[in-house]
Amino acid sequence: MAYIDGRLVHDADSHLMELGDCLDPYLEKRLLDRYHALDIYRTKVGNNAWADTARATQADTAFRAEADANIMARKNYEGMGSFIADDRPRAVDLLGVASQLVFTTFCLGNFDLDQGNDMELCYAVAHAHNRMMTDFCKVDRRLLATAYVPLEDFARAEAIAKDAIALGAKALLIPSWCPQRHSPSHTGLFPVWAMAQEAGIPILMHVGGEDKLNATYKENGLPPVPDFHGGDDNFTSVSYMPIPQSAMQTLATLIFDGVFDHFPNLKWGAIELGAAWLPGWMRSMDSAAHAFMRNEERLQNLSDKPSEIVRRQLRVSPYPHEDAGWIISNSGEETCLFSTDFPHVEGGRNPLKRFDASLEGMPQTAIDGFYAENFIDLMGEGLAEDLRRPAHLVAA
């Protein structure tokens, strides 16, 4: 029996757990040395023993024999289909979801190249990532590949978005941090949004591409605080707090500067950035629009209140530890998405139970929206018609 049985559920957040050499076959050979020399690359790869261990574990016959029974218990590199493409369709079967958006793990943040000076390498690494992601997801139509588009250079952003769509990407992934020399709402990026709208696929933000906690906050005279994995590179309670901040600022700028209105059929998503911030942020934008309307023509030209524009075009995935029912009640039935974060440990072993509990007493329309309909709306043409409501998953 699948983890999710007899219900129509789409998964807005899942991941690969790539090994350190994942981009090497896709990157131009002349750029490999520059890529391998990056401090952040060497920090991530380190001793290759961890990759050898992951491969050996997944090749072990006894380990594989118990994989089905542990679909939600095994995490990260032990997860089924975490880095072996041919195993991923079975994982989707066992999860019981109708489709999965698939994001990178190793390449989240594009190795900080967006914030550097080597734009050739920045876009080359992003392109290599996009080829890797679309190749992995070709094994099953239910796997919806995301492709990364750095926003630093207008011409290069347009070119890589065009290529990503041609590769078969089902969504374009952008950082929530602000580019170095222009706003994310700059008209020079309009060709990117136009291509996505024409293709009927969404623009997404994901944790990993946001402005990080100022490290000075850790200098508190106390012992280091361990993260989920026992180190301090992932999130702790303090570094968790700023996760949505750059997304809130960037999305507000895009709305106030009229980008959402200029592309009214383009959907946007904020994935694994939490959603507890959503209701207050929507109301803050409405307050800002009201306060500054008299002096700002751009606000006078908006098609509706910012909160209504959000309901029309933005979809957000709560964390399983957040009260999804409260978020939906205070932001709208259209806004939120279910996700597993498979196979990341942060997704937990039973996200369905936790979300079901938070949605208890909600209208059925809100529940259906959370688990399926809002995702179908977000994905547009990126989700094939026959995958939207498969008969075997639609409850009788």
Is it the case that residue 47 has pLDDT exceeding 80? Answer: no
On average, the pLDDT of the chain sits at: 95
What are 100's strand-pairing partners? 11, 143
pLDDT band, very low/low/confident/very high, at 303 (cuts 50, 70, 90):
very high
Domain range list for the chain = 11-217+226-386
Q: pLDDT per residue over 252-269, tens digit each?
A: 999 999 999 999 999 999
What's the pLDDT band for 233 if we cut at 50, 70, 90? low
pLDDT band per the 50, 70, 90 thresholds, residue 396: very low
pLDDT at 230 over 60: no
- Taken as a whole, the chain contains a residue count of 396
Quote the percentage of the chain above a pLDDT of 90.
Answer: 89
d(CA 38, CA 49): 20
**Topology, domain 11-217+226-386:** TIM Barrel (3.20.20)
How confident is residue 150, by pLDDT bands cut at 50, 70 and 90?
A: very high
Residue 232: its pLDDT value, please?
55
Q: 286 - beta bridge partners?
A: none
> Using 50, 70 and 90 to split pLDDT, how confident is the model at 138?
very high
Residue 229 has pLDDT above 60, yes or no: no
Query: What is the pLDDT averaged over residues 105-113?
Result: 97
Contacts of 339 (CB under 8 A, 6+ apart): 11, 12, 13, 14, 271, 272, 317, 347, 351
Confidence at residue 395, expressed as pLDDT on a 0 to 100 scale: 62
Mean pLDDT, residues 341-368: 97
Sheet with strand 143-148: strands edge to edge = 11-15, 100-103, 143-148, 171-173, 203-206, 268-271, 314-316
Pairwise CA distance, residues 352 & 6, whole Å: 13
Quickly state the pLDDT bin for 394 (edges 50, 70, 90).
confident
Dihedral of alpha carbons 193, 194, 195, 200, sign? positive
d(CA 336, CA 359): 12
Write down the pLDDT at residue 226.
80
Nearest in space to 286 (alpha carbons), one of 319, 263, 311: 311
- 3-state class (DSSP) for residue 11: strand
* pLDDT at 231 exceeding the cut of 60: no
What is the 3-state composition of the chain as percent helix, strand, coil, each rounded to the nearest 5?
50, 10, 40
Range from 142-151, 231-240, 386-395 that averages highest in pLDDT = 142-151
Instruction: For residue range 266-300, list pLDDT tens digits in order.
Output: 999 999 999 999 999 999 999 999 999 999 999 99
* Of the candidates 248, 170, 175, the residue with the CA atom closest to the CA atom of residue 206: 175
Residue 376 pLDDT exceeds 50 = yes
- Band of the pLDDT at 44, cuts 50, 70, 90? confident
Among 79-88, 207-216, 234-243, the minimum mean pLDDT is found in 234-243
